[in-house]
Chains A and B, each alone.
Chain A
Amino acid sequence: MTGRPHTAGDGAAAPSDELATAGLRRLCLWLGRHAAYDRGLVGRLVRTHGTFAAVLAQPQGALARALRPHPAAEAVDQAGTLVTGAAVAAGQAGAHEAVVAWCDADYPPGLRELFDPPPVLYVRSRQWQAMLRALRERPTVAVVGARRPSPYGLEMAWLLGNGLARAGVNVVSGMALGIDAQAHAGALDTLDAGAALGTSAAKSGGATPIVLAGVLGAGVRLAVPRTNAGLYASLDDRGLLLSEYGWLLPPHAWHFPARNRVIAALADATVIVEGSGRSGALHTAAFAADLGRDVLAVPGEAGRPLSAGPHHLLREGAHLCESADDVLGLLPEGAWRRERRGAAVRLAEPGSDSGDPPFERREGPEARVLAALCRGQHTADQLQQALGLAPAAVAAALSALEIDGLLEVQPGGRYRARREGREAASR
């Protein structure tokens, strides 16, 4: 499979229209290069001309008058050729790379619904054509959230990414630290488990692969932020990396909100895991809502700053998301689902408020502490008060549970039951 973009995607246009198509594609590439430097360029043009299709119907000279002059973008122009050029936004596509223009058949259809769609997408993947096809054939869910989440948020993001991929859903996110990275990590885990079992999801041949797509706010060859270099390498290998900002363009602050609209448009549903009241994830949710897509929010603990974003969305009418099942229920029926039916697992157990269930092996203070933890996060002090135990007994019980991996200690001296703990408590 070659990544040369010089031929338009599989039969995008009839041979007779070949010349016109090539012209259209050239215009898209030109516009895309400038849009990477010129904030809101496409939006301005669409407002003037009505639709993006109408924009493309204009001659390049007319569009050029709307440009804000930018030295780097002009250098690209002067270099002349289609995708080669001096500036970082241009350059030849390498192996496993491609430039997908708005007019190409490979262009994700969801993005066409945007008011200001990216004129081009720069794509990196070992099997980008199969991946782009899968984006059309399978439903896609975006999981986004805080860059510095709580352990609870991390766990939920991982479980959602994992469960969605297991059910055969594409997972798209923004490659940021925190929730984004964790959702991808969860989905990658499913993929790797599938590869080990030899299931169809991992086979690159016949079946449509499950896409783990990362949308970047910088050039698609840049692993930004550096902390996520490992994730970048994994997605490069087994997923799909997308950017509208060329190959090597460094990130700019305004790229990220713009990137969020691409995430929202790629996905059929968007899940927000954690975020403060002014989190970028809320932008993604707003874009998704504007596009008429489903928005889901994972509830957090009341009163925590990181719960403000999701709770705001829930108040505004977002769907409640406790597990991957809640997302799957909103997605349309289709072949993808039959293939995967029953694979999704119930992730979060309902609260175990019904007293202290009998545990195997675990009894006395440990069982009571675990049951209390399942009802929320607690400090040692709160546990001691609620259960009427001696501080020493609480400390000992917490250690015993930690050794067995049923709870985790969070910064600030708060304890939280892990999934294994919640399962043990409800058993």
Chain B
Amino acid sequence: MLARVHSEALSGLESHPVAVEADVVPAAPAFTIVGLPDAAVQESRERVRTAIVNSRYEFPSRRITVNLAPADVRKEGPAFDLPIALALLCATGQSRCGLSGAAAIGELGLDGSVRPVSGVLAVAQSAQRRGLRTLLVPDANAREAALVAGLDVLPAATLRQAAALLAGVAGAAVERTDAERLLQHHETADADLSDVLGQAGVKRVLEVAVAGAHNLLMVGPPGSGKTMLARRVPSIMPPLSVDESIDVTRVYSVAGMLPAGVSLVVRRPFRAPHHTISAVGLVGGGATPRPGEVTLAHHGVLFLDEFPEFRASALEGLRQPLEDGEVTISRALQSLTFPARIMLVAAMNPCPCGFRGDKGRHCTCPAHRLALYGQRLSGPLLDRIDLRIDVPRLTPRDRRALAEGEPSAVVRARVAAARDRQRRRLAACGASANAHLSARGLRELCVLEPAARSELDHAYETLHLSARACDRVTKVAQTIADLDGSDTIARQHVRESLSYRGESWKRA
């Protein structure tokens, strides 16, 4: 007898429908799964068999054939356990499929329990978009799936429950998860900007960077507080909107990094991969493409400490995501796009030994190593970093004299106001922040006062700026003007912007 249960297969951040067909015929006992299953799917035979027996159903000692259609798409992971088991129960008449337009996903334990799987939110979203009405999910994933409006989410904790739900004899859909409420009831970040003593200049630059979504490079000796400052960048970013937090949650869910019991990521991501990371680890990829760190930092901060120590291939891979806000990974069988709208915060020492320009310590780097160090970062990559600043080390005396400075919430309010101004001005050209302005948008939407223009021309000559550097200075000046609540870019804004272009470390 033949039975069919619908399921979903994940591919990148999207899912596509898979029909799980089971046929049981009286012949020599066998259990075959066809339809390009990978090792994890093949192993599901053992889990399904044991789960069915331990759920006090009868496992047929006949010839069982399970087909996963369409047969030309590779099927991966343990999420087909539940639909295969349900299809088998239907095929043997121990249950029936009473719901139309329903799909099931879930992993089975040997005792017949239904275990959580990754990527449930992504599955729920794309299934709902395709018109699916009901999704049967593991109990532990229910609240995550329930973020999607217009979809009935049925939670199952055991195979028996799942069979009852599929037959339509028991259970009700879970209540929809209220993302807005979740976002309101939490602290935005655990680290506050006021934890950092002094460094008022650097804090100002962080504010400018976040206000315009500019990428930032901090250059300073060890112990100058670069990492501490970078960790506090998310705390001054505007809180995640509902759509943004669902975007982030989807990525974390697919990556299997959503902690147990968490249905929604409510804080902006802060990712700080170690500098030994591979190019694939950083931008994503692999035989079956998985999101890399740039995607995990989507809508948040990607912090790269010891910037020049990263592999050249990894750093060059950052160019596309920094430019387009997404990563496209092409493999022989498929081409996938992951979102990667990040703010890059990079940090580096001024020289290999770290003490160049430091007041108290002597730099011991030979000249040729200094020259090499500066060359490790390519021009095209640096061009995508609008703000570069020196972070000097504070002496203990300096530190004692310092006040705490503003808490993050105060800075965040100013940032939010500046972002609002930008959104209104940039609505026409599709960019959401000054950093994403095209050269054309820059010409058309940024208004320099005459004094500001002449100051920029003057600087262009005396400071030997490149045309690209001029564009960066203008973009940052626009953000400073936005923070200032000014419609046009004044001379003062250009001047401040000029002092954040930080070329000093490149000079030998």
Contacts and interface: CB of A to CB of B under 8 A. Distances in A.
Contact of A412 (B367, B392, B394, B493): B392
A395 B496 contact: yes
A403 B458 contact: yes
B298 to A, nearest CB: 30
B486 to A, nearest CB: 12
B359 A303 contact: yes
Interface in B429-464: 455, 458-459, 462-463
Contact of B356 (A227, A381, A411): A411
Given A381-B398, A382-B398, A395-B499, A414 B359 contact: yes
Contacts of B220: 412-413
Interface residues of B, number: 47
Nearest to A225: B367
Interface residues on A, range: 35 or more
A305 B362 contact: yes
A411 B350 contact: yes
B498 interface: yes
B491 to A, nearest CB: 8
Contacts of B494: 399
Contact of B357 (A384, A394, A399, A413): A413
A414 B357 contact: yes
Given A391-B203, A395-B500, A412-B356, A405 B462 contact: yes
A108 B226 CA distance: 56
A413 B504 contact: yes
Contacts of A400: 455, 495
Interface string A243-275: 000000000000000000000000000000000
A81 interface: no
Contact of A395 (B391, B495, B507): B495
B195 interface: no
B495 A404 contact: no
A95 to B, nearest CB: 34
A177 B367 contact: yes
A177 B367 CA distance: 10
B221 interface: yes
A101 B504 CA distance: 49
B94 interface: no
A391 B495 CA distance: 12
Contacts of B35: none
B361 interface: yes
Given A385-B401, A412-B221, A399 B496 contact: yes
Interface string A291-333: 0000000000101111000000000000000000000000000
B205 to A, nearest CB: 8
Interface in B208-226: 219-221
Interface in B453-498: 455, 458-459, 462-463, 480, 492-498
Contacts of A412: 220-221, 350, 356-359, 390, 392, 504
A390 B201 CA distance: 9
Interface string A348-385: 00000000000000000000000000000001111011
Contact of B504 (A177, A405, A409): A409
Nearest to B204: A391
Given A399-B495, A409-B504, A148 B367 contact: yes
A413 B360 contact: no
B357 A396 contact: no
Nearest to A404: B462
Interface in A107-158: 148
B31 interface: no
A177 B508 CA distance: 13
A298 to B, nearest CB: 18
Contacts of B463: 402-403
A413 B220 CA distance: 8
Nearest to B360: A303
Interface string B382-403: 0000000111101000100110
Interface string A398-424: 111011110001111110000000000
Given A411-B504, A414-B357, A395 B204 contact: yes
B200 A413 contact: no
Nearest to B200: A391
Interface in B325-340: none
A196 interface: no
B39 interface: no
A381 B199 contact: yes
A182 interface: no
Given A410-B357, A411-B504, A396 B201 contact: no
B372 interface: no
Given A395-B499, A411-B507, 6 more contacts: A305-B361, A380-B201, A381-B394, A385-B402, A412-B359, A413-B504
Q: Which 9 A-B pairs have the closest CB atoms?
A: A412-B357, A413-B390, A411-B357, A391-B204, A396-B495, A305-B362, A399-B498, A380-B201, A399-B495
13 contacts: A301-B359, A306-B362, A380-B499, A381-B198, A391-B204, A394-B201, A400-B495, A402-B463, A403-B459, A411-B504, A413-B357, A413-B389, A413-B391
